[in-house]
Every structure is written in structure tokens, then in C-alpha cells.
Amino acid sequence: MKGLADKAKGAIKEGVGKLIGDKDVEAEGKIDKATGSAHNAAGDVKDAARDAADALKK
């Protein structure tokens, strides 16, 4: 969930930055979106590892 929240926050910041012409806010938004993507990827890896461990138990 954290990744999704970061991506949403980043998209909003990036949009606001573009709207008001503030490159710093726009860049912060892009960073937040990238952070959100990284959190999602880490969560996917953890889920896959858990699924693999559960499959070995059966």
C-alpha cells in the first residue's frame, strides 16, 4: 500500500509542478513516483518468496 500511496502522491506533485511551472516540485513528484514503484517491486518479490516457501511446505 505504501508504494501505491507514494505513486499517487508523486503524480499529484508532478502535475502541480507542471501546472505552476515549478521544476523542483515536478522533480519531487517524479522521485516520489519512482519510490512508489520501488516499494511495489519489493513487495512483489516478498510475495513471490512467500509463495515459493509455501509451495515447498506442501
Query: By three-state DSSP, how is residue 22 classified?
Result: coil
Residues 15, 3: Cα–Cα separation, whole Å: 18
Residues 54, 11: Cα–Cα separation, whole Å: 36
Using pLDDT thresholds of 50, 70 and 90, give the confidence band for residue 58: confident
Q: For residue 30, what pLDDT is reported? A: 96
Q: For residue 16, what pLDDT is reported? A: 97
**Please, what sign has the CA dihedral across residues 22, 24, 25, 27?**
positive
- Note the pLDDT tens digit of each residue in 10-52: 999 999 999 999 999 999 999 999 999 998 888 888 888 888 8
Residues 21, 16: Cα–Cα separation, whole Å: 8
Show me where the domains of the chain are located.
Answer: 2-57
pTM over 0.85: no
Cβ pair 13, 29 in contact under 8 A: yes
